[in-house]
Structure 1
């Protein structure tokens, strides 16, 4: 899947684009809109972007799980050698699971407050009244969606998550 970001100047154009994308086969699960005045769009059935699409919560949780599990494993080994009568397997496994869960919890708390970098790029325009439409499209159909919207709405700015950004988990926002 490829994530595309459409910066759209107004609500009316946003509704038109959402309808076009629906006719091209995208479902509401693949469309997410955000903007300063999004309530009228929600009433029209346009899906509103949630924290999963606009923050770094998912990637933060992944990083937290990995770091927490590693630290938990190390602490489990240390605890085994400090507490001589413990089973090393159960101590290391238990601390690894605890560390992963604790890492997910703490990282998620931070990730919720960190705006996805691609969304942050459009903050000024959104505050001025523009709408940001985030869509997830199959890789093989990305160009078709991009071409259709560019031909009907040349005023729309379209960006995607680059391979380099994907490696760095930037702009994924899920």
Structure 2
């Protein structure tokens, strides 16, 4: 799946876009809105972005799990080769230690992620804070181009502000804005 990001000036403009997407055949659960005006989203029957789309819990949780796994693996290898623990500390104990470190890393990464906007939408935080509405459209990869063309044709004032995969990549950082207008704020 591919996620398309459209930035509109208000929830009312987002409502017009969402209604056209429904008419085009995009399911209502594949369209989400992110705005400071959650009541406006509710009033216009736009599903708000869910917890995992809004915050960086999964992304940083995965990073924490990877860091915990690597640290525990290095620790286990170091302890094994330096003979710091008696020989009775076997494979099962080592695997348990690696599991605990990995889970602790995932937990601590997730705690940090709860306090941050999702790494894919953080680039839009200024616009959202100033009253804009971000519309997230999830679509199969082979249909994303058709949907982008339909939106461009019916709503030429909405610019595709970005696109990404719906899957979280723990190795990727904050995404850059894909403005076709170079230096002009996207609406």
Give the TM-score normalised by the residue count of structure 2.
0.79
Match of 2:48, SS state, is coil
Instruction: From 90, 104, 107, give the equivalent of 1:105.
Output: 107
Quote the residue 1:32 is aligned against. Answer: 32
Match of 1:75, SS state, is helix
The number of aligned residues is 170
Indicate if the aligned counterparts of 2:15 and 2:46 stay in contact, CA closer than 8 A: yes
Gaps of 5+ in 2: 176-187
More helix by proportion, 1 or 2?
1
Tell me how far 1:27 sits from its aligned partner: 2.4
Supply the distance in 2 between the matched residues of 1:154 and 1:98 (Cα, whole angstroms): 52
Quote the residue 2:49 is aligned against. Answer: 49
Supply the distance in 2 between the matched residues of 1:52 and 1:139 (Cα, whole angstroms): 21
- CA-to-partner distance for each residue in 1:114-142, whole Å, 9 max, x for gaps? 22344222222222221111122111111
Quote the residue 1:15 is aligned against. Answer: 15
- CA-to-partner distance for each residue in 1:26-73, whole Å, 9 max, x for gaps? 223322111121212213321101331123221111111111112123
- CA-to-partner distance for each residue in 1:88-118, whole Å, 9 max, x for gaps? 3112210111011101000011112222344
Gaps of 5+ in 1: none
Indicate if the aligned counterparts of 1:77 and 1:91 stay in contact, CA closer than 8 A: no
Q: Taking structure 1 as reference, are residues 90 and 112 closer, same or farther at Cα in structure 2, changes over 3 Å only?
A: same
Indicate if the aligned counterparts of 1:5 and 1:135 stay in contact, CA closer than 8 A: yes
Supply the distance in 1 between the matched residues of 2:89 and 2:170 (Cα, whole angstroms): 41
Quote the residue 2:183 is aligned against. Answer: none
